[in-house]
Structure 1
Amino acid sequence: MREVDTRSRSAERPKCSSSATVELSRLTALVEAQHPPAADRDTFALLKNPYDVGLIGDGERWGIRRMRIDNAWYVGGPAAIFAG
């Protein structure tokens, strides 16, 4: 399995909504991300992904219980995201 290149990423104005009870919460977000080129200007990726995250409370902190990321659209090449 190849590693994801996390050196330079940006997400502009993610819109998030949540609903919570005492111990459980749900977070939804629609994120449009640009994975800019490093040295190679022909290598890039633009994508939009809806996130659906289930959180569980543990006293003073929240942990991820489940996370689903779907892809709405994608333009570019996987080399901009995956290292190697």
Structure 2
Amino acid sequence: MKCTISFRNIEHTPALDEKIRQKSEKLKKYLTSNAEVNWVCWVENSDQIAELKIHDKKNDFIAKASSDDLYKSLDLVISKISNQIQHLH
């Protein structure tokens, strides 16, 4: 699984990077080893936004969430993506 993380208008900290990688690892059991996992996090007005795009063999998954806290947005995105993936399995 290849994981890329991008930040726009927000500070890229090691703690945030590690949190995102931990969240991504939870999805590993549903994806092939060739899956591409792409995170983008940014701030828009007062919203902390996280978007996750996954490309895996025959399926693409996309989820986006915003809240007043980026960690909460990450949790929401993982929940949405997990529901999409589990719906297919």
TM-score normalised to the size of structure 1? 0.38
TM-score normalised to the size of structure 2? 0.36
Of Structure 1 and Structure 2, the greater strand share is in 1
Q: Which has the higher contact order (CA 8 A, sep 6+)?
A: 1
Of Structure 1 and Structure 2, the greater helix share is in 2
